[in-house]
Structure 1
Amino acid sequence: MSSRRVTATVALGALCGLAWAASFRAVMSEFAGYGSTVSWLDTFAAILLPGVIVGGLLGWAHTIRLRGGRPGWRWLGAAPAVFAIAPMLLPDAIVAFVTQGLGGGAVAVALLAIGGGFATSGRGRLWARILCGVISALLIVGVTLATFGIAGPRLAVTEPRGVWVALLAFSLLVLLAIASSIPFRPVIEAQPDDGVPVAASERRDGAR
């Protein structure tokens, strides 16, 4: 894969990450209701920028996977942790997290993304993937169902708006978990005889 294609794939990943983060910001706005505000730090630095970074890292992981892997590249599976780290860098964020629990949602998103990515990757011990999958699924379902109790009657399960927000949150979280599986998946290598990309064996894949 040429450096130009690598750059294009990383840029596409960053764009997808931006679109995902902007969409999830809309979900957060619905949770907050009419009191929702948009600011440079809370919105752009703590939500949109992390989305760009995570998307770019996952795009980079995809290019590495298509080239047979490289030493240490599996650590890119921790990319969604940026969603939890970025809000903590804001002024007084740690104090608010400890005293009020603010930012806990970002931690949950990062955990379900990493756990869900590993669970759906098809690699690793089955019991570990099942455990991570169950935890991630519970977090996704928990966030989805919490939609109906966060903003009161406005987002009730009997209201079209409530169902729409719940479905939007659910689909975005599932999509993030699937995308986060890229660094955990088996690498792809080209066969010398026909050049057709195939999944590398578990033994060789584990070495990377």
Structure 2
Amino acid sequence: MSERTVAEPGDTDTRWMTRRARWTHIAVGAAAGLAWAGALRAWMAELSGPASSFSWGTFEGVLLPGLLVGAAFGWASGVGPAASVRERRMLRWCAAAPLAFAIAPMLRPGALADFLREGLGGGAVLVALTAIGGGYALGGGRPLWTRIACGVLAFGISLAGALLTGPLLRGSALALTTPRGAWLAVFDLALMCTLIVASAIPFRRLSRSSPRRLALAGAHDERE
């Protein structure tokens, strides 16, 4: 006579609390990502000066990617050290989430042609790749020399962008010797450092588990 496994009430409560905690992580991450994207748009407006304008494309090209990237990082922050196979696979996708900042602007009509012909939109690509490289450097658990190389490159690009973007685009109006120019450079560097630190969440070091343990954890996730 076979025995049927009956779920204990405590197990059900634990699963419900785990799911609730995960959704909380996602919601907080999405809100933080939206706030970061809004700050980025404010930086872009200040950089452009009087030529800056807002449209519904701001939501599609800046705010929506920020929301999605923040939600991905929020989900990744809820993954424990003993992650299952499915969770480890999802973390790889979360690590690539900053690419949304590069892809979303390219979805506008004619944007891809402008990028290929004149390089317009290249800044978004650089921001995404810098965030991923910096996150990899801070994540841990990888060969040290690759982390150092990625970290130096990511910080160097962030610092150079903060110091040079304003003066190159608007000259003396945003020179580093002026209060406005210095403020914009600090703002730029703070935004990039915040994004890099957040991008390290999916790269963080996980505990090493045997294939059998990972398979059991994956089967448990499928039952849920």
Using the size of structure 2 for normalisation, the TM-score is 0.81
Residues 81 and 205 of structure 2 are in contact (CA less than 8 Å); yes or no, is this contact kept in structure 1? Answer: no
Range with bigger deviation, 102-111 or 146-155: 146-155
Q: Which residue of 2 aligns with 1:74?
A: 91
1:52 aligned onto 2:67 = yes
Deviation at 1:149, TM superposition (A): 2.3
CA distance in 1: counterparts of 2:81 and 2:142, whole angstroms: 19
Alignment of 1:1-208 (within 5 A): 2-41=18-57, 43-65=58-80, 68-69=83-84, 70-75=87-92, 76-146=94-164, 147-187=166-206, 200=207, 203-204=208-209
Distance 1:99 1:74, change over 3 A: same
Residues 87 and 93 of structure 1 are in contact (CA less than 8 Å); yes or no, is this contact kept in structure 2? Answer: yes
Residues 101 and 125 of structure 2 are in contact (CA less than 8 Å); yes or no, is this contact kept in structure 1? Answer: yes
Range with bigger deviation, 45-54 or 133-142: 133-142
Distance 1:205 1:80, change over 3 A: farther
What is the RMSD computed on CA atoms of the aligned residues? 1.9
Structure 1 stretches of 5 or more lacking a match? Answer: 188-199
The alignment partner of 1:111 has SS state of helix
Structure 2 stretches of 5 or more lacking a match? Answer: 1-16, 215-224
Q: Which residue of 1 aligns with 2:220?
A: none
Residues 10 and 60 of structure 1 are in contact (CA less than 8 Å); yes or no, is this contact kept in structure 2? Answer: yes
Deviation at 1:205, TM superposition (A): 9.5
Q: Which residue of 2 aligns with 1:195?
A: none
Distance 1:149 1:56, change over 3 A: same
Using the size of structure 1 for normalisation, the TM-score is 0.87
Aligned sequence identity (%):
44
Letter of the 1:23 counterpart:
A
Deviations 1:167-188 (A, max 9, x none): 001001001000000000023x
Deviation at 1:163, TM superposition (A): 0.6
CA distance in 2: counterparts of 1:81 and 1:169, whole angstroms: 19
